Structure 1
Amino acid sequence: MTGKKAKRKRPSLSLPILRTSRAQHRAGTLTLGTLLTALGETSFGWAIVVFSLVTLLPLPPGTTLLTALPLLVTSGQMALGYPHVRLPARLAGLRIDQDRLRRGVLRLRPVTRRLERILRPRYITLFARRNERPLGLVLFVIAFALFLPVPLSGWFPAVSLFTVGVGIVERDGLVTFVGLILGALSVLLTVAIILSLAAGADALLH
C-alpha cells in the first residue's frame, strides 16, 4: 500500500435497470409500473430515467406519441407539486419488451459511461422543494417536444431527459443542468424543424 486509498469503481448506471427488468421478465411481471417501483419506489428521477429510456427503444416511427406520455405525466406532476409519481393504471400496466429494453440500455452506453465518470452529489440546492415545480415545468416542455411526431428530433430530447433523470437520482446539480441545456437545445431544434416543414408546405401550396 502506498498510503493512498484505491479509488473504488463506481457501479454502472445500467445494472439496476438490467437486473431488475431481467428478474421481472422471468417472473412475467415486467411493466412500466413494476419496474419503476422496484428501482426507486416512485421517485421522479428514476421515473424520468426509465421513461426516457423507453422512448429510445427500437420502435416504429411515431411511437413517441405513446412512449412520451409517461414523461408528460411525470413532469406534469412534478410541475404541479406532487410529492411523488402517480402513474395512471393504464400507463403503469404497459408491458415492456425486455430484449428491446436491454438494447436501449446498451445503445445509451456511450452516454452512461461518460456520466459515470463525473457523477457525484453537488449543487444540491437545485433539488430543493421550491425548485421542483420550475424544474418540472422545463421538463414538461422538453417532454412535449419529444411527444411531437417531428422527424429527426426524438433522440435529442430523450437523451437530455435521461441525463436530467440521472442527475436527479444522483443529486448531481451540474449534470442535471447540463441535461437541461441539452433539452433547451432539443426544443429549439424541434421548433426549427417544424418551422422548416411549415415553410416547405407553404411553398408547395403557393
Structure 2
Amino acid sequence: MTSRPASPETKASTSAVLMHLAQAEGEERISVGEIVSRLGDRAPGLLLVMLALPMCIPNVPGISTIFGLLMLAPAMQLVLAREQLWLPNRVRAWTVSRAALSNALRRAAPTLRKIERFVGARWTMFVLPPAEQLLGLQTLLMALVLMLPIPGGNWPPGITVAATGLALAQRDGRLALLTVPMAAVSIAIAWVGFRIGAAVVIHGFHALARLFGG
C-alpha cells in the first residue's frame, strides 16, 4: 500500500493548519464535511488532535463518550488505509458554531506551538502503512476506553490520541512510538478505575441491602 500523496499544506505545522481553519470566514455554523475538506490529506491526524484536546482537560461528565464515538471514523480510516476520510452523509452534515470552533482552536494554538518545537518529520516508517494501521487499531482501543464511564479515566487516553494525531499530522515516527507505552498506561489506569468503580457500586448495593433488609 502506497502512502497518501502530500498536499501543499503537508509542510505546514499542525497549529498553522488549525489557525487557518480558525480564521476562515463563512456562515455562522460550519459543517463537519467542510472541516474535513479544509484539513486536506492530514484530516485523520488533525481530526484526532481536535477531538482529543477537550479530553485532556476537566470536562462535562459523559462528553467523553460522544468524542470517543467521533474518533472511530478517523481511526477506522487508518486501519483500512483509506486515502480519503469517509464519513456518513448525516455526520458530514452536522454543524458546529464557527465562533466556538474558532475560539477553541485559538486557545489550543499556543500550547500546540510549544509542543511542535519538539515534533517534526523523522522515522517516518512508523507513521506509514503498515505501522499506520497499527496506530489506527491503538486509537480504536483508546476511543473505546474514552467511551467507558470511568472516573478520571478520560485524560490518559485523550493525551494518547492527541499525541497520535500530532505524530500522524507531522509525520513524526518517534512520537508515534512513544504513544505505545502511553496507550498501555492509559489501559492500566482505566482498568484500575473500572475496578475501583465496580467495587464502590457493589459495596453500595450491599449497604442498601443491609439497610432495607434488616
TM-score over 0.5 for the pair: yes
Aligned to 2:196: 196
Residue 189 of structure 1: how far off its partner (Å): 1.4
Aligned to 2:22: 21
Any idea what the Cα deviations from partners look like across 1:83-109, whole Å, max 9, x if unmatched?
Answer: 332111222222223444345435545
2:74 is equivalent to residue 69 of structure 1: no
Equivalent AA in structure 1 for residue 118 of structure 2: I
Report how many aligned residue pairs link the two structures: 196
Unpaired stretches in structure 2, ≥5 consecutive residues:
1-10, 207-214
Aligned to 1:170: 170
Residue 172 of structure 1: how far off its partner (Å): 0.6
Equivalent residues of 1:56, 1:104 under 8 A apart: no
Structure 1 pair 57/205, CA: closer, same or farther in 2 (3 Å)?
closer
Distance 1:189 1:69 in 2: 20
Paired-residue identity, %? 23
SS in 2 for 1:129: coil
Residue 37 of structure 1: how far off its partner (Å): 1.3
Aligned to 2:212: none
After superposition, where does 1:25-36 map in structure 2 within 5 Å? 26-28=26-28, 30-36=30-36
Distance 1:89 1:56 in 2: 29
Aligned to 1:139: 139
Structure 1 window deviating more from structure 2 (193-202 vs 54-63): it is 54-63
Equivalent residues of 1:42, 1:84 under 8 A apart: no
Residue 161 of structure 1: how far off its partner (Å): 0.9
Aligned to 1:122: 122
Structure 1 window deviating more from structure 2 (120-129 vs 110-119): it is 110-119
Residue 118 of structure 1: how far off its partner (Å): 1.2
With the length of structure 2 as denominator, give the TM-score of the two structures. 0.77
Equivalent AA in structure 1 for residue 176 of structure 2: T
Equivalent AA in structure 2 for residue 87 of structure 1: L
Distance 1:128 1:41 in 2: 13
2:179 is equivalent to residue 179 of structure 1: yes
Higher relative contact order (CA 8 A, sep 6+): 2
Residue 168 of structure 1: how far off its partner (Å): 0.7
Distance 1:164 1:190 in 2: 18
SS in 2 for 1:119: coil
Residue 62 of structure 1: how far off its partner (Å): 0.9
SS in 2 for 1:120: coil
With the length of structure 1 as denominator, give the TM-score of the two structures. 0.79
Distance 2:121 2:183 in 1: 21
Aligned to 1:5: none
Equivalent residues of 2:75, 2:136 under 8 A apart: yes
Equivalent residues of 2:22, 2:105 under 8 A apart: no
Structure 1 pair 23/165, CA: closer, same or farther in 2 (3 Å)?
same
SS in 1 for 2:130: helix
Equivalent residues of 2:72, 2:140 under 8 A apart: yes
Equivalent residues of 1:78, 1:132 under 8 A apart: yes
Residue 122 of structure 1: how far off its partner (Å): 1.0
Unpaired stretches in structure 1, ≥5 consecutive residues:
1-9
Structure 1 pair 175/51, CA: closer, same or farther in 2 (3 Å)?
same
Equivalent residues of 2:31, 2:96 under 8 A apart: yes
Question: Cα RMSD over matched residues?
Answer: 2.8
